[in-house]
Amino acid sequence: LSAFGLYFPRKEYLENVYIDEPAGTPLLRIHTLRDSHGEVAHFHLCQNLIISRARSHENNWFQIREKTGLLYLSKSLDREDFNMLSVGNWMPLSKVMLYVFLSSHPFQEKECDSATRTTVFLSLMNATAPACSSLTARQLCFTEMDLSFHIKENKPPGTFHQLQLPSIHHLCQNLSISYKLLAAEGMPFRYNENTTGVSVTQRLDREERERYELIAKCTVREGFREMQVEVPFLVNVLDEDDSPPFLPNGTDTADAVVEFNRKEGTVLATLAVYDADTTPIYPLESSRKKYTGTIITDDPWMSETFRVEHIFDEIHFSPNGSQVRGTRHEYKLVLNKSISVTEHRSFLLDVLVNDTEFHGPERSVMLHFNVSILPVSIQFPNMTYQFTVNRNAERFAQIGKICIENCMKFRGVNITYKLLSPNTSCYAVSILQGREDKYGSLYVNDSSVLRRPECKEIQYTIQATDKQSRKHTKTLLTVFLEGTLLKKEEDCPDSCAVSKHHGECEECGGLGVLTGRCQWRQGSGKGITTNYSTCTPSIKTCPDGICDVIESKDPAVCPQDCTSGNIIGGHGKGIGNLGIKSGHGICYCFPRQNCYCEKDDIKEPLCDDVCKTVI
Amino acid sequence: LAAPPSPPGQDPHGWRVPVDCVRANELCAAEPSCSSRYRTLRQCLAGRDRNTMLANKECQAALEVLQESPLYDCRCKRGMKKELQCLQIYWSIHLGLTEGEEFYEASPYEPVTSRLSDIFRLASMFSGMDPAANSKSNHCLDAAKACNLNDNCKRLRSGYISTCSRELSASEPCSRRKCHKALRQFFDRVPSEYTYRLLFCSCKDQACAERRRQTIVPSCSYEDKEKPNCLDLRSACRTDHLCRSRLADFHTNCQASFQTLTSCPGDNYQACLGSYTGLIGFNMTPNYIDASITSITISPWCSCKGSGNMEEECEKFLRDFTENPCLRNAIQAFGNGTDVNLSP
């Protein structure tokens, strides 16, 4: 906002200048609007003409009438001047630019830095002024620039444009050019036929209506000939902060419960504040500063633990049918740090929202967040874990998951799972946990133990510990070994993934198998699909598109989820370029080498007559 | 009055022949008076606006001397060696002088003058097509086939496609930065006869138009979770010399004009298509907003929501993409091969 209230109703003006037009030729008129009654506008030009491509030249040709804002030629622009001003102008059309400054008092010398200015573009036409008869009605009536204006709301009425073009009026005095402004009934604009001036007749309110669309109509009469041109005439109403914040539906309170999700950055609750004024997104920071939200508290714990985040977006209000823009501000109560599982409190947190640029008593509203921080217990569900493991399971076979109560709901709580060593020698299983995993995965660590006849039932104690509070809990785990040992097939590869056919897959075992045999997944066989055919230690875990912590221990377990090598054939890669997300036909892999996805056109040979006789 | 001795770099008509800014900088550095004035001017411009600067005598003097030096009118070439360095030199002078808040900025690039040869190239591209097959064929598919038959085009195209479609993690579908870089390489290094055909092919059905929309892998290079405000996007673009230059070039060559038949400055479609292409791979990357075949609408990934009192300016900025008759005519003319009929 400038210190004084005079302002230009448009940012740019445009006019043509021809070679050898005489000194005194009027070019265009610039208008201003006032902030308060009694202000008088003084116009002033800066000493330099700006030629495009950053050249400038002293202004020897153009002047402006300080009182009326009429820009005119003070010296004729001859061919030599034209050539000089055109140098460095690569555009097909030479343009010079000058700034018109505005002040509410007479200008002192060299005041060239006032904030209130508008830009005048003068197109230098490489010709002498045209004959009026050669100009079209459009050229006689309007310049190329859109008739688009902005008027600030809540300001006194005044004249802001003159439809008649001073240069044309001067040049074509024999023509009769008249204008009309077509406006719907009740629009706050008036056209003065004598001056061709357009004025706004009353203070405007943007919250009532922010855009007026009128039509400027021009009639050119030349003898018996009459031509008419119509162009849109637009007025945008500029906003100022004249509306206080208010609460939609009167809601000023929200519940904020902290339970399983205790992580820094968690949004606990959101309250909205509306404002009929607009709030620009750009520049963002300054708008945030204009509309503040502050936690009201003396308690250092509260100010450390919570913060308020402010976002806002544009919404529409519809007073009396027309749509105007307004703002919805949202204040989010956010955890500023992770909260310990032992914390237990309830309190009311007040946030003061302040519309700092609104001048009035109702500039602020108070928001209330009803905060409850509940403790969460670290305990296992009321039971002991029992798993059965087949004696033929191989290393890295996934037995099951260990999870404390509500473990999957936790965020910001770091639980680690540990197996306490059993006091027998049958130590066959281990537990592993991914970096962000909320559960522990139990897997076979030593398959030779499973084969030992003396190991039948193994008891473990599992301990879960919360990293922050060091709180821990324990439960019992029993692993039963079952099944009879199968004879190992010879010539079987380490990895199930190597097998290419249904038959060979299920004849062999491999790392990660649960029952001594690999499992075949029969895909849908349609194009490149996530449901491709493949051989895997366990259909439940592989391939499921996730390279889990156990699969990543050894590349032979499930290369379908974990490979980072080449995949040959039609395929899509998984997240982070790991694994085969989708494949064509059958996908098989050589661990630490390539994977292949291909359609298997050769059917497995059926048992023919020779075969039958052999059997 | 005797004519002043003509400075180097002027042609016989008194018009300066543009020198590139890297070369101009070398010429200026070799001359003690020029290099000291250049240093002075750069200090004058740092952090001050034009008018304050002009009020200072020393700055004024430096400016006057430099107006005669080749630095003043220097330009850069798209895809030249040291393009970034050239643009840095350009903006070091022009940033302060053009106010930095102008709606349209002049392009730092040399004007595209090689129109005729290009038109012939376009013509030859479309000639030899069987008109009967033409009505059924998918031009965008043909363009992809043509690209795949050229080693350079194929290599750089598959380069950007694989970069732009590589999923990093569940929350990050791709590396936008790398994707943009690969796209810039493709459009800078592959001849426009291939790239324009991919970007501006004409379509008669939706599958074709969708292929056209997908040319730049928009899910990575174009779309984002949220649409920023266009003025915000513009100011971010203007903090980067390359993006700023490409945007200024687009405004110079695609700005709709009332004074020409085609609505394009100088009726130069080639220049407009070139500067449109030059924006791909920056945050101002434009694209087709949908796969419509009846109306071509182009836009950068931004909206005018939340513009406050600048809504008019924002919409004016956006309209130069969405409702620009020059750009639309240029794209359609290229697709239909009608540029050929235009008298030079």
Average pLDDT over residues B181-205: 92
The alpha-carbon gap from A89 to the nearest alpha carbon of chain B, in Å, equals 10
Partners of residue B313 in chain A, C-beta under 8 Å: 11
Over residues A423-442, mean pLDDT = 86
Distance from C-alpha of B200 to C-alpha of B215, rounded to nearest angstrom: 10
Residue B280: pLDDT above 90? yes
DSSP B71: G
Least confident of A447-461, B114-128, B133-147, B326-340: B114-128
Residues of A in contact with B93 (CB under 8 A): 54
Q: Alpha-carbon distance A600 to B217, whole Å?
A: 32
Q: Is the C-alpha dihedral spanning A13, A18, A20, A25 positive or negative?
A: negative
Residue A356 has pLDDT above 90, yes or no: yes
Answer yes or no: do B72 and A284 touch at CB < 8 A: no
pLDDT category at B15 given cuts 50, 70, 90 is very low
What is the C-alpha separation between B123 and B340, in angstroms, rounded? 6
The H-assigned helical ranges of B11-81 are 21-29, 32-45, 50-55, 57-67
- Looking at the DSSP bridge assignments, the partners of residue A44 are A101
Q: What ipTM was predicted for this assembly?
A: 0.83
Model confidence at A402: pLDDT above 60:
yes
Query: B265 versus A422: which is more confidently predicted?
Result: B265
Residue A614 confidence (pLDDT) above 60: no
- The alpha carbon of residue A246 and the mean position of all alpha carbons in its chain are separated, in whole angstroms, by 26
Share of chain B above pLDDT 70, in %: 81
Do the Cβ atoms of A72 and B77 come closer than 8 Å? no
Band the pLDDT of A560: cuts 50, 70, 90.
very high
CB contact set of B157 (below 8 Å; sequence gap of 6+): B147, B148, B186, B190, B198
Q: Which string of DSSP letters, residue by residue, matches B44-58?
A: HHTT--HHHHHHSHH
pLDDT, residue A330, reads 96
Q: Which residues of A touch B49 (CB under 8 A)?
A: 113
- Tell me the two tokens of residue B139: 């031009």
Residues in chain A: 615
Residue B65 has what DSSP assignment?
A: H
d(CA A20, CA A35): 40
Cα distances (angstroms) measured from residue B72 to each of A10, A371, B35, B244: 31, 64, 13, 19
Q: Which residues of A10-35 are buried (b: 16+ CB within 10 A; e: fewer)?
A: beebebbbbbebeeebbbbbbbbbbb
- Give tens-digit pLDDT for A326-335: 999 999 999 9
pLDDT band at A345 (very low <50, low <70, confident <90, very high): very high
A59: closest CA of chain B, how far (Å): 14
pLDDT score recorded for residue A302: 94
pLDDT exceeds cutoff 70 at A611: no
With a cut of 90, say whether residue B286 has pLDDT above it: yes
Cβ–Cβ of A113/B55 closer than 8 Å?
yes
At A44-102, the pLDDT tens digits run: 887 778 776 556 788 899 999 999 999 999 999 999 988 888 765 555 567 888 889 88
Q: What is the model's pLDDT at position A199?
A: 95
Cβ-based contacts under 8 A for chains A and B: 98
pLDDT-based confidence at A111, cuts 50/70/90?
A: low
According to the model, what pLDDT value does residue A604 have? 53
Tens of pLDDT, residues A155-188 = 999 999 999 999 999 999 989 999 999 988 889 9
pLDDT reading at A282 higher than 70: yes
pLDDT average, residue stretch A510-530? 88
Q: What is the pLDDT of residue A587?
A: 93
Name the residue with higher pLDDT: A283 or B330. B330
Which residue of B lies nearest to A324 if distances are taken between CA atoms? B308
Rounded to an integer, the average pLDDT of A474-498 is 87
**Residue B127: is its pLDDT beyond 70?**
no
What does the pLDDT average to over A354-359? 93
Q: What is the mean pLDDT of residues A568-590?
A: 89
Percent share of chain A, pLDDT over 90: 59
- Judge whether residue A493 has pLDDT over 80: yes
pLDDT band, very low/low/confident/very high, at B117 (cuts 50, 70, 90): very low
Question: Is A485 in a helix, a strand, or coil?
Answer: coil
Two structure tokens written together for A249: 């539906």
**Residue A541 scores a pLDDT above 60:** yes
pLDDT band at B5 (very low <50, low <70, confident <90, very high): very low
What value does the mean pLDDT take over residues B124-150? 70
CB nearest to A236's CB, from B97, B106, B312: B312
Could you report the per-residue pLDDT of B36-86, keeping only the tens digit for each? 888 888 887 776 666 666 667 788 788 777 877 888 878 899 888 899 999
Q: How confident is the model at residue B304 (pLDDT cuts 50, 70, 90)?
A: very high
At residue A347, the 3 state secondary structure works out as: strand
Question: Is B27 a residue whose pLDDT tops 60?
Answer: yes
Would you state the pLDDT for residue B56?
Answer: 76
Q: Which whole number is the average pLDDT over A599-612?
A: 61
Cβ of A281 within 8 Å of Cβ of B306? The answer is: yes
pLDDT of residue A17: 93
Query: Model confidence at B115, in pLDDT bands (50, 70, 90)?
Result: low
Block residue for tokens 């599982």: A341
- Binned at pLDDT 50, 70 and 90, residue B12 comes out as very low
Identify residue A423 by its one-letter amino acid code: N
Predicted model pTM:
0.85
Which residues of A lie inside 8 Å of B (Cβ-Cβ)?
A: 11, 46, 48, 52-56, 83, 87-88, 90-93, 110, 112-113, 144, 148, 150, 236, 238-239, 278-284, 312-314, 325, 573-577
At B344, the pLDDT band (50, 70, 90 cuts) reads very low
User: Is A401 in contact with A440 (CB distance < 8 Å)?
Assistant: yes
- Across A423-560, where does the E strand assignment appear? 429-432, 440-444, 457-466, 472-482, 519-521, 528-529, 534-536
